[in-house]
Structure 1
């Protein structure tokens, strides 16, 4: 797994924590910083620093929270979305290249494993997100 992640990831433009954070904001839409920190399993001050770096790079933006005038939401920018799209394209290309190192039978075995494993992994992620959302925010 580590080899695959290292081969597929391009950490030249984003740290892993920045990429995970941006992906969550992209998937879930504008989100409160405190909620984002809890879901990513980091302290609020750490998330604040990360969001500030991403904001300075033009990848995320802060938006007014329509439900609470004192709070703000973190949203993805067009530039941030373009970066995520490019990273996804690069990962797909790298995965396609990596897949050519397998035989046809091995590719089929991997496909079958993914068909069984992906729904279970998705459920684990949903369970982890639910548990993180239920934890008290510092």
Structure 2
């Protein structure tokens, strides 16, 4: 890495530490479960194989995870409208409530932390996010593309 890419990578590492250590609720579902539920919330119902590929895990591992999520009542299987023999994994109402609650809690924790900043730092960070936000969304879209 060069041309400032190390600085960008270090910045991402700092943000990840903030999110994982200070903004994430460490009780409740596992990280893998939260990532899976979040994907279903963003992208909608998906086949088990598609979900496993998107999350970068094997079909047996995803199958075990989905079974646990079903037992918790956070996901349900629904008929695939394109192929009645297949099923899709979808968020249940309880799963949607869980995802929304965790997002709200994370935003509340972040608001508390942002409240400790000076007005100048807060304004600088807001401006930086206005610039970085669209770029980050493009990076996410790029990362979602198959290699």
**Fold shared per TM-score above 0.5:** yes
Q: Does 1:117 align with 2:132?
A: yes
Q: Which has the higher relative contact order, 1 or 2, with Cα contacts under 8 A spaced 6 or more apart?
A: 1
Partner of 1:3: 17
Q: Does 1:100 align with 2:105?
A: no
Of 95, 98, 121, the residue aligned with 1:80 is 95
Residue 98 of structure 1 deviates from its aligned partner by: 0.5
Tell me the TM-score normalized by structure 2: 0.85
Q: Does 1:47 align with 2:97?
A: no
Of 30, 34, 55, the residue aligned with 1:19 is 34
Residue 11 of structure 1 deviates from its aligned partner by: 2.4
Structure 1 CA distance, aligned partners of 2:140 and 2:69? 24
Q: Does 1:59 align with 2:64?
A: no
Structure 1 CA distance, aligned partners of 2:39 and 2:17? 23
Q: Which runs of 4+ in 1 moved over 3 A?
A: none
* Count of residues in Structure 1 that have an aligned counterpart in Structure 2: 132
1:31 counterpart SS class: coil
1:113 counterpart SS class: helix
